[in-house]
Amino acid sequence: MEIIPHKKFKGVYWTDGNKLATLNLVPGFSVYGEKLITFDNKEYRNWDYYRSKIAAAIMKNIKGLPIHSGDKVLYLGAANGTTASHVSDIVGKDGRVFCIDIAPRVMRDLIYVCEHKKNMIPIMADAKKTGDYEFFIDKVDFLFEDVASPDQAEILINNAKRFLKKDGYAMIAVKARSIDVTKEPKSIYVEFENKIRDEFVVIDKKELDPYEKDHIVFLLKRKP
């Protein structure tokens, strides 16, 4: 089996023709039962785009994934660490992934992953209350939000103001049904975009069907 670097997204690879993968930071360790593949004396992990909004956005050919080796990333809504673990692979041993989640039921799984992937830092906190975790986090290069909340826009803006570098990038998975079940998703996406325009430049946006229903991912750059 051959592993081919993705031409557009650095740190991402193709395997089995149409499957994504990242270079495993901790060889032998599988986070969520994903397949491990050895090629040219290196180990890679399949990245399931039905379980990861970032991977789904890549499959939808979003314009970029501005995460690099050595970067610091703030991940809001890290849950069990599925996607965050692939971000960990991309930033490598010199990078950091600050993983925020409020749910005790997933924190145990997240901590287990972080014990193996030393560049991931688990923080049990409410993403709405940035003051509760500001002392644990440095200024970050990239911010990703995957939080099921009606005030996703406000959470993104508040965290960006507190933690994202002036020239930093952000990505958010907007869940239409978590914001308002009575409105059409497309109208919710427009409202969301209007809320964040003062703080961010919208680089690209991709609806995630068929990988995720009623979801859209925005790729953003913070305004100076």
- Which pLDDT belongs to residue 186? 84
Nearest CA to 126 out of 72, 76, 196 is that of 76
**pLDDT the model gives residue 184:** 82
Pick the CATH number of 3-47 from 3.10.450.50, 3.40.50.1100, 3.40.640.10, 3.30.200.20: 3.30.200.20
pLDDT tens readout for residues 25-37: 999 999 999 999 9
- What's the average model confidence in pLDDT over 189-207? 94
Average pLDDT over residues 100-117: 96
Q: What is the reported pLDDT for 175?
A: 85
Above 80 in pLDDT, residue 178? no
| Confidence tier at 220 by pLDDT (50, 70, 90) | very high
- Per DSSP, the residues of 11-68 read T-EEETTTEEEEE-SSTT--SSSPPEEEETTEEEEEE-TTS-HHHHHHHTT-S-----
Per-residue pLDDT at 126 exceeds 80: yes
Residues 6+ apart with CB under 8 A from 187: none
* pLDDT score at 107: 95
Torsion angle of C-alpha atoms 127, 191, 216, 5, degrees rounded to 10: -80
pLDDT tens-digit map of 35-46: 999 999 999 999
Please determine, for residue 149, whether its predicted confidence score (pLDDT) is greater than 90.
Answer: no
pLDDT at 180 over 90: no
Instruction: Determine the pLDDT at residue 176.
Output: 79
- What's domain 53-222's architecture? 3-Layer(aba) Sandwich (3.40)
User: Residues 91, 94, 96, CA angle at the centre, nearest 5°?
Assistant: 60
Q: Is 199 strand, coil or helix?
A: coil
Which pLDDT score, from 0 to 100, does residue 76 have?
Answer: 98
The amino acid sitting at 187 is S
* Poorest-pLDDT segment among 40-49, 159-168, 173-182, 204-213: 173-182
Tell me the β-bridge partners of 96.
72
Q: Where are the domains of the chain?
A: 3-47, 53-222
Domains 3-47 and 53-222 share a fold: no
Return the pLDDT at 210: 93
Determine the Cα–Cα distance for residues 103 and 168; give it in Å rounded to an integer: 27
- Say how many C-beta atoms besides its own lie within 10 A of residue 77's C-beta: 24
